[in-house]
Amino acid sequence: MLDFSIEPEFQAKLDWAAAFVREEVEPLDLLFPHGGDPYDTRNEKARAILRPLQDQVRAQGLWACHLGAELGGAGYGQVKLAYLNEILGRSYWAPTVFGTAAPDTGNAEILAMFGTDEQKARYLQPLLDGDIVSTFSMTEPQAGADPKEFTCRARREGDQWVIDGEKWFSSNARYAAFLIVMAVTDPEAAPHARMSMFVVPAETPGIEIKRNVGTMDERDSLDEGIHAYIHYDRVRVPLDAMLGGPGEGFKVAQARLGGGRVHHAMRTVGKCTRAFDMMCERALSRRTQGTLLAEKQAVQQFIADSWVELQQFRLLVLHTAWIIDTQPHGAARTQIAMCKVQTAKVLHDIIQRALHLHGSLGTTNELPLAKWWMAAPNLALADGPTEVHRTTIAKQLLKNRRPAEGLFPSEHVPPRLEAARKRYAHILDDESLSGRVDA
């Protein structure tokens, strides 16, 4: 039975989190507006504000809730995490304040599952404590996210692996203590068995950040963004730097990407809710042509369509979270892909309407709507292009379907009508029954 309910004790924690994010965390988005600020461990002013806030989150038992209890989290499960992430989605800084910022969340899971004891001590615990940040270095400039086109290589030389090649959009590399790098180790193997994953300390010789690219909603000046274009020039790491076995890079990547996709969706619910609230407030505050915007039918349609879409999306996310919580690993693959497909569209459409209702003010930097709206293209590409996930959905849905057995579709009316007549012939042919039966 589907069950998205939560006990009163956790609802009280959510109520605390909602007030805390609104009053204490959202101001950080204004004070430190640049994309890299939550990840810049060297920004002492930001850290001086951040650390006490994180301590309050820990005191509430809400720190790193995506993790199980064995890794320092509360082990609440995905449904509870969905409700919490709706709140965190209101603020860019909130995931960092609550210890759930990407890509550190997924990288922590990889280290927990595949790291050595030494790697866990050196990187995992500081990552869980929020003392360092990390990078997931997978996509490439000529290949994007298609692993079949990757060319960054790692070859074995004695007791070391040597990494050569380029990676694109390695977020937060300029601030990272370590990078998790996917590289081809067996180019002759099947596409999904060619790659392996490595943990690489950021200070390793040969890591060259060619430039730090900014997205459209980040800093305008070149080399001031947070998404690194990296050249790995004979970067040497020990044999035990490999995470998982040889050729298991794709499997390791999938272990982290699924959770990240659904967490993006959870937080998008929160951001869209905030935009919807702004839309309603504007409709009840602004007059034009002698009446409130709220009295215009077009505006009413904006509000109705936005709420329907938001609630549909929210239920999809909660259903996906429930499957992850209650069914075997991998059972939610199709639902996670569905969330990924809808995330960017719902964000774009609801914020577009909210922005439009605010007129010229909505397009300026005096409201957050334009910046939020510009994030929609990023979400359509993050963790794989939306089109790839549509293909995944279609393949999964068609897997257990069958073609029509004959020349015509199975819903073809003439044979079905004939079968219906045969099934009920004993009644249809009974002249003793009064009334007329139309064939």
Rounded to 10°, the helix 78-88/297-326 angle is 140
Mean of all residue pLDDT scores within the chain: 92
What is 134-243's CATH number?
Answer: 2.40.110.10
Name the maximum alpha-carbon separation found in the chain. 96
Model pLDDT, residue 436: 58
What's the CATH number of domain 254-399, 1.20.140.10, 1.20.20.10, 1.10.630.10, 1.20.1560.10? Answer: 1.20.140.10
Query: What pTM, to 2 d.p., does this model score?
Result: 0.90
pLDDT at 439 over 60: no
Residue that the structure tokens 């609440």 belong to: 76
- Report pLDDT digits (tens) over 176-229: 999 999 999 999 999 889 999 999 999 999 999 999 998 887 766 666 789 999
pLDDT interval class at 419 (50, 70, 90): very high
Task: Give the DSSP H/E element, type plus range, for residue 270.
Answer: helix 249-285
Task: Quote the pLDDT of residue 218.
Answer: 76
HSE toward the beta carbon, residue 79, CA cutoff 13 A: 15
DSSP 86-137: HHHTT-SSHHHHTT--TTHHHHHHHHHHH--HHHIIIIIHHHHHTS--EEEE
In angstroms, rounded to a whole number, what is the distance separating the alpha carbons of residues 166 and 409? Answer: 51
Confidence of residue 38 (pLDDT cuts 50, 70, 90): very high
Q: How far apart are CA 152 and CA 181, in angstroms?
A: 9
- Residue 269: which of 220, 318, 323, 214 has the closest Cα? 318
Class of domain 8-115: mainly alpha
Q: What are phi and psi of 264, to 5 degrees?
A: -55, -45
Position 1 scores a pLDDT of 76
Q: Tokens 């039966």 belong to which residue?
A: 437
Mean pLDDT check: name the lowest of 119-128, 246-255, 288-297, 410-419. Answer: 246-255
Q: What is the pLDDT of residue 330?
A: 85
**pLDDT at position 250, please?**
86
For residue 397, what pLDDT band results from cuts at 50, 70 and 90?
A: very high
What is the three-class DSSP state of 329? Answer: coil
- Beta strands 227-238 and 160-171 are antiparallel
Confidence of residue 2 (pLDDT cuts 50, 70, 90): confident
Backbone angles phi, psi at 344, to 5 degrees: -65, -35
- For 160-181, the pLDDT digits (tens) are 999 999 999 999 999 999 999 9
What pLDDT was estimated at residue 212? 94
- Return all residues near 95 (Cβ < 8 A) that are at least 6 apart: 38, 88, 101, 102, 267
Q: What is the pLDDT of residues 68-117, one digit of tens each?
A: 777 767 788 899 999 999 999 999 999 999 999 989 988 998 998 899 99
Please tell me the predicted confidence (pLDDT) of residue 220.
60
Q: Where are the domains of the chain?
A: 8-115, 134-243, 254-399
Q: What is the mean pLDDT of residues 384-409?
A: 93
Alpha-carbon gap, residue 137 to 168, rounded angstroms: 8
